[in-house]
Amino acid sequence: MTLRGILRLLMPAEIYRQMELESRDWYFTCEACGNEFTVWDSGGIRYKASGNPVRLVRCPACRTRAMMKLRRRSEESR
């Protein structure tokens, strides 16, 4: 069972839904192909977090593994 599966069982449904929505707001952009994908789609969780860290991730479109910066969509519109 994945961490998200365990959290789904242990957390109240509303908090889990908020965690998913916030994780879908954080995204990576692949510099090789330009594909954008969310933390949630890549299997991760980012909840009540700040900053723009750099992570080693694999792009699901071109399969390139690279250091990519995390960005939050809601912060771009400010």
Residues 2-27: pLDDT tens digits? Answer: 888 899 999 999 999 999 999 999 99
Strands 65-69 and 71-72: unpaired
Listed in sequence order, the residues at least 6 apart from 36 whose beta carbon sits closer than 8 Å to its beta carbon are 27, 28, 29, 30
Mean pLDDT computed over every residue of the chain: 92
Per-residue model confidence (pLDDT) at position 76: 65
- Which helix (H) or strand (E) covers residue 38, if one does? strand 36-38
Q: What is the DSSP letter of 31?
A: T
Q: State how many domains the chain has.
A: 1
Segment 51-65 shows an average pLDDT of: 95
The domain of 38 spans: 3-76
d(CA 39, CA 13): 20
- Residue 77 in this model has a pLDDT that exceeds 60: no
Q: What is the pTM of this model?
A: 0.81
